[in-house]
Structure formats: structure tokens, C-alpha cells
Amino acid sequence: MTETEGVIKYALDFTPGAPPALSYSLAQLDAWRSILHRLGMVGQTPARYDGYGFGNVSVRDRDGFSISGTQTGKPEQLGAAGYAQVTACNPQTNAVEARGAVKPSSESLTHGAVYALDDGIACVLHVHSPDIWHARANLGLPSTTADVPYGTPAMAAAVAALYANTALPCGRVFAMDGHEDGVVAFGADPAHAGQALLSVLAESLRQGAA
């Protein structure tokens, strides 16, 4: 790893409290997270990334968005208690406000930047997929550059540039060159985002078998 996985780089104003309500959207998100966990795209294992948890998921709601907590990679299912409610996210000031039983993911700023792109985006999935990441050039995936660190205002700006200048609005998946194995998918709901991600995974495996 070029960076320590899971380090929060933004200024966090966190209020401990009850977890988000388990809405249909949050339950659907947690189900998709379980699928990604089984595929090894979200998780925590001593053999990867120095044992740190990896991958995070979120869904938009009326108060902002609910996102998996920092370093919650190990369980296959989180339930509502494994998510934090992000109520404000400002890439310009590098600040996040959140509440819940766990602190939000270190990638909250990136998730917030994706939601700011389009009101129709209601789910963001950040996973770690060596298959996709190593094939990103052959797949033609839009990618942030290697000098852009995750979870920073620079990443938020880079994502906005990709959305404005590439086919990202149609493909809904991009890679992070400077974040080992880092891939992000988004969509109108968890199923929409998950299907876009799995389609890219399938193509990367097809190319690898060719």
C-alpha cells in the first residue's frame, strides 16, 4: 500500500448517538455489501492491506447519506448499527459532519463528492478489486491520477472532472490510480450501482481469460 488504509483525512465533527433507521434503501445497501464481501471486494483480512478493513458503501437519504463506518470491513453484514449518518459534507473546507454509533468511513468526502454530481445518484460503492484495477486501462475506465490521494478535496475535484469530461455518467464506474485496487461505482439505487460494478468485473475476467 502507498498509504495506510482507512485513515480519516478530513476534519470530522461527529456526534455519538443512535444509528440510522433501517430503511428499505439501507437494508438493500447492506444486502449488496454482503455480496461484495463474499466477492472479496469489501472486507478485512490479514493477507490484504496490512490487515486494515477495506471498501465502503453508502446510500442517499433525506438527511444526507448513510455510510458504512470506518474499519467495519470484517463482518459480512453490518445492520444499521454499522452505518453512520453524514449530515454535511464540504470538499472545499475538507469537513464532514456525522452522527451515529460508529464514525463514518475515511472515504466519506469522496462519497459526498459523487452525490454532489447529480441528484439522481443515490448509492455509492467503493470497493477494492485487483481484477478491475489492474485491467483499468484495457477496460477504458475513467481514472483519477496516481498523485490524487483518497478522501481529500483533491479527490473530490478529480471525480468532478471525470464526470464532466469522460463517459463516466454512462458507465458509472471509475478507478483510483493512486489508491491500490480502489474502484468506485454509483447509481440510482444499490442494485443499479452493484450491477454496473459487476458488469465491469465480468469484463475484466473475460479479458483475463482471453
pLDDT per residue, tens digit, the chain (210 aa), is 344 555 677 899 999 999 999 999 999 999 999 999 999 999 999 989 888 889 999 999 999 999 999 988 899 999 999 999 999 999 888 899 999 999 999 889 999 999 999 999 999 999 999 999 999 999 999 999 999 987 788 888 999 999 999 999 999 999 999 999 999 999 999 999 999 999 999 999 999 886
Distance of alpha carbon 35 from its chain centroid, rounded? 15
Domains and CATH numbers, the chain: 11-209 (3.40.225.10)
In terms of pTM, does the model score above 0.75? yes
DSSP letter for each residue of the chain: --S-TT---SEEEEEE-PPPP--HHHHHHHHHHHHHHHTTSSB--TTSGGG--B-EEEEEETTEEEEEBTT--SSS---GGGEEEEEEEETTTTEEEEEESSPBPTTHHHHHHHHHH-TT--EEEEEE-HHHHHTHHHHT--EE-TT--TTSHHHHHHHHHHHHHSSHHHH-EEEETTSTTEEEEEESSHHHHHHHHHHHHHHHHHHHH-
**Cα separations in angstroms, 130 against 45, 133, 134, 154:** 15, 5, 6, 23
